[in-house]
Chains A and B, each alone.
Chain A
């Protein structure tokens, strides 16, 4: 049954053009920030020492936002266009619906994250070569993996936000405000800044921070890479479970 429902989700995803436009936004943001990192660094020596930052461009350039939005749309589009009615008629259990959407969104996140990384490398490697910058790819696998993980997990976080807040615009707006602003404001408030590692930005920084840096920001110690991944997964899953149990279980009138 799960296989059938995943096939249905795949068809929902590919039967409108949203997937294409969101992919275009992801590729455009990745390209722009990769180019910005390389083009904005004047000296080749400086660029050589910033290779890690260049390879993190895929996440540093707000590319996580379209993936977050894609996750949100997976649920909220169903409510916006009332397709939730045929969806629930085909699959009465809201738990099954959200379980299948979680798997489908994770797969979409993985594919989009891979495409972003491929685009990034396709731009960065030839360009860096012309700047006489050597990239030892095997030693950068960890960097690429952290960028990949953040992108893929933000799709999952988006799904959770969409399940919990079924209004599309509210879910996207609240999510972006949290990640882009409120998390960082928390970091400068003395009394509450220690929760930062458990927020989305804090977890993202824990995953992408250089192993050679100290794991502190503004006096707050970040989690380990595994801890950061766990925090993003928990955010996505907890919101999805709450959404399935509360928001999606409400009457569909």
Chain B
């Protein structure tokens, strides 16, 4: 593996794809995947994720813009399987070919020894099925075979499109560990997925698309910053709400004696209760997770962060 270096930086700059009739699958998309990071590539169905990944890999010709890996377009990379591994769909196999032979063909094309095929098929847990024809593979097994194909050249960059599709809970757990393993090895990973919880656990950064456009990119901490909500239960909500408002925090009374406070961490709220002599029965903090963020951003409701179950109308003097 090449390790984390500029040769594995992915730069997408002003990328657009128009499939005709004025429908833009991707529209002026720009983002960067830093070397040695795991980046989640998120968006609802039809957001343009797969088209973007295919443009990055030279399978689809962009209408405008550029996509490079280590400063080179994929088409210009010599022996690309040793620099970039990709797993795009679980159906790119000849059904009458064995999984091992599929990988050995890639070994031959990349000038790699056949032992690489044996190694990666074992790495993804398909060693026992290596000599079975792909037509007998389940969708989850095909996904694993796709991951094995991506790893065949021991590349520093991995581009994975929905690798969790078709995996059962065991497979998803395995995939989580697999991502961690890849990240620990210092590979740059760009992974599109609908498994938001899995992405949250393994991704350093996320790129969120909607209708072909970039909605937001950054680390999960950056994107969820400012979404802290502290909930308190107190028998004296009125004076505490006033004290909180005086400290510049937003307060909403959800129910008698139940306050949601925004704009400050749980430590600050606890401190204000202490210095104002307020009795608290509960003090808890929460922050929007990736799922909250994703739905808010892709439904045009960012201002509603974090999403919660419907709450009663505010009753007391919140500054909200």
Q: Looking at the complex, which of A86-94, A129-137, A143-151, A219-227 is the stretch in contact with chain B?
A: A86-94
Asked if A186 is an interface residue, CB under 8 A from chain B, the answer is no
> Contact at A92–B77, with CB atoms within 8 Å?
yes
- B94-140 contacts to A (CB < 8 Å): 94-98, 101-102, 104-106, 108-111
Contact B80 A85 (CB under 8 A): no
Query: B294 contacts which chain A residues (CB < 8 A)?
Result: none
Whether B59 lies near A81 (C-beta < 8 A) is: no
Decide if A93 touches B75 in the complex (CB within 8 Å). yes
A-facing residues in B53-85 (Cβ within 8 Å): 54, 57-61, 74-77, 79-81
Q: Is A173 an interface residue (CB 8 A)?
A: no
Question: Given known contacts A16-B96, A83-B93, is B105 in contact with A89 (CB within 8 Å)?
Answer: no
Task: Please choose the segment from A2-10, A48-56, A108-116, A238-246 that sits at the chain B interface, where 4 or more of its residues have CB less than 8 A away.
Answer: A2-10
Question: Are A5 and B109 neighbours in the complex by a CB distance under 8 Å?
Answer: yes
Given A16-B96, A82-B89 in contact, is the A89-B108 Cβ separation under 8 Å? no
The answer on a CB contact under 8 Å between A90 and B81 is yes
Interface residue? A218 (CB, 8 A): no
Q: Which residue of B lies closest to A7 (CB)?
A: B108
Q: Are A81 and B105 in contact (CB under 8 A)?
A: no
CB pair B149 A17 closer than 8 Å? no
Closest B residue by C-beta to A90: B109
Given contacts A11-B105, A12-B105, contact A89 B93 (CB under 8 A): no
Q: State the CA gap A93–B108 with chains docked (Å).
A: 17
Chain B residue contacts of A88, Cβ below 8 A: 58-59
Contact of A92 among B58, B94, B106 (CB under 8 A): B58
B92 and A16 form a contact (CB under 8 A): no
Question: In the complex, A37→B191 CA distance in Å?
Answer: 63
Tell me the B24-55 residues at the A interface (CB within 8 Å): 51, 54
Complex: chain A residue closest to B85, CB-CB = A89
A177 is an interface residue with CB less than 8 A from chain B:
no
Q: Which residues, 132 to 179 on A, are CB-close (under 8 Å) to B? A: none
* A15 partner residues in chain B, CB cutoff 8 A: 94, 97-98, 101, 104-105
Question: Do residues B81 and A82 form an inter-chain contact, with CB atoms below 8 A?
Answer: no
Which residues of the partner chain B approach A12 to less than 8 Å between Cβ atoms?
94, 105
| B residues in contact (CB < 8 Å) with A | 51, 54, 57-61, 74-77, 79-81, 86, 88-89, 91-98, 101-102, 104-106, 108-111, 149
In the A-B complex, list the 6 residue pairs whose CB atoms are closest, starting with the nearest: A8-B109, A8-B108, A90-B109, A15-B101, A92-B75, A7-B108
Given contacts A11-B104, A81-B93, could you give 7 more A-B pairs where the C-beta distance is less than 8 Å? A7-B109, A15-B97, A89-B57, A90-B109, A92-B58, A249-B61, A251-B54
What are 21 pairs between A and B in contact, CB < 8 Å? A4-B108, A4-B111, A5-B108, A11-B108, A12-B105, A16-B97, A18-B96, A81-B95, A82-B89, A82-B92, A83-B94, A85-B88, A86-B149, A87-B109, A88-B59, A89-B57, A92-B76, A93-B75, A251-B60, A252-B59, A253-B51
